[in-house]
């Protein structure tokens, strides 16, 4: 999915060039989904089987380096183009986007907060998919409240020794490297000053205890990770400085929430388009159900909800691309788009009736996948709090 075109220097030509590249990328994604994914999703999803072959194809497409800068071997996509890629893939099988999203959040942490040596060592390997992994924040007693984590890293000479447990970690089984949030100073006040992040590769003392079973989001591995006397070199401390871990995590989560919003758009879109098609085929009382006002009201609401979610997602992505703080915009997009996915999946089930409840159709999968979007990368309750706090901060009296 790389190009050999030389980027132009004129502003108008640059915009045209960017549009052309985006179009080529999205066309490549469409072809891959139609050729290698669409017809295999149902069997893999029902079996909760890891899509090994598709992961290799995603490597070839460059998706593991989608947002990694080109100077480090990535595609260097804008967040806006990335959101469109994520929506397309999610409209076919949302789980696939989770495999590279968590990985790219880890990469974003390194790109934004890592030392130059860390960037040059890790980012090219992340971009190629040679090293794959994700973000390890959540613990059994700490999810939304990240400052409550207990995982401890203690300095020992040129190393740190880490002990603790992480849970609900995407790519935990098949991934090999994780952006690991720990406490280096449990007594620090405020608490975030005692939090640090390491780029932790699997090794002695780092084990996967179990795969976590889920209602939806099948195929991708979600796991519990155990660290017992895990020794890691001090040069793997992100940025080379203690106390910056929460800042790194939150900076990565801005991209993660844009991804979740795009996933929500993908599910909402699939639910809508399947319903539009089905409503033209299914007949009751002598006419297609799309001609009944009750169904028309549902389709109209679903379409409007989807378009509003897309606009919020693109607005957040453009803010991210401009390098602006966008936790409010990303929070709005994530909140609205995830709720749109839930509502559209439920309406799609109602439009499909009994078929919507059947595993022979993908509607029940949308219905199982959508609620995770309201939880992942910060619950929607937290998103509304972030939005309100930012509104007050940006508009003081």
- Which residues are part of the catalytic machinery? 377
Return d(Cα 32, Cα 61) in angstroms, integer: 9
Determine contact, residues 256/377, Cβ cutoff 8 Å: yes
What contacts 20, CB < 8 A, 6 or more positions away? none
Q: Is-cis flag, bond preceding 190, omega within 30?
A: yes
What are the distances in angstroms from CA 252 to CA 107, 108, 334? 8, 6, 14
How many Cβ atoms from other residues are within 10 Å of residue 25's Cβ? 23
């Amino acid at each position: 999915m790389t190009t050999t075109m030389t980027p132009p220097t004129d502003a108008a030509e640059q915009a045209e060039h960017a549009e052309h590249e985006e179009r080529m990328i999205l066309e490549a994604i469409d072809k891959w989904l139609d050729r290698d994914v669409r017809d295999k999703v149902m069997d893999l999803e029902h079996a909760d089987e890891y899509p090994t072959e598709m992961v290799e194809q995603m490597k070839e497409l460059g998706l593991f380096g989608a947002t990694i800068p080109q100077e480090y071997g990535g595609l260097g996509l804008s967040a806006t183009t990335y959101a469109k890629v994520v929506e397309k893939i999610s409209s076919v099988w949302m789980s696939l986007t989770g495999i590279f999203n968590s990985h790219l959040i880890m990469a974003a942490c390194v790109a934004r907060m890592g030392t130059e040596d860390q960037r040059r060592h890790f980012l090219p390997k992340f971009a190629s998919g040679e090293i794959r992994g994700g973000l390890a924040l959540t613990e059994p007693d700490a999810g939304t409240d990240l400052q409550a984590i207990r995982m401890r890293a203690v300095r020992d000479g040129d190393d740190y020794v880490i002990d603790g447990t992480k849970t609900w970690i995407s790519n935990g089984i098949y991934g090999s490297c994780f952006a690991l949030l720990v406490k280096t100073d449990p007594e620090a006040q405020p608490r975030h000053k005692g939090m640090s992040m390491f780029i932790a590769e699997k090794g002695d003392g780092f084990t996967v205890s179990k795969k976590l079973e889920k209602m939806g989001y099948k195929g991708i591995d979600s796991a519990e990770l155990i660290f017992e006397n895990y020794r890691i070199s001090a040069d793997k401390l992100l940025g080379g400085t203690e106390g910056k871990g929460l800042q790194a995590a939150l900076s990565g989560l801005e991209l993660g929430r844009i991804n979740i919003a795009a996933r929500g758009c993908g599910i909402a879109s699939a639910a809508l388009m399947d319903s539009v098609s089905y409503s033209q085929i299914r007949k009751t009382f002598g006419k297609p159900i799309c001609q009944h006002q009750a169904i028309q009201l549902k389709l109209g609401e679903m379409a409007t909800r989807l378009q509003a979610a897309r606009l919020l997602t693109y607005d957040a992505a453009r803010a991210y691309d401009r390098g602006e703080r966008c936790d409010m915009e990303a929070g709005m997009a994530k909140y609205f788009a995830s709720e749109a996915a839930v509502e559209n999946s439920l309406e799609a089930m109602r439009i499909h009736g009994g078929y919507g409840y059947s595993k022979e159709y993908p509607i029940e999968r949308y219905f199982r996948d959508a609620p995770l979007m309201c939880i992942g990368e910060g619950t929607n309750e937290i998103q509304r709090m972030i939005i309100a706090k930012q509104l007050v901060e940006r508009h003081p009296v």
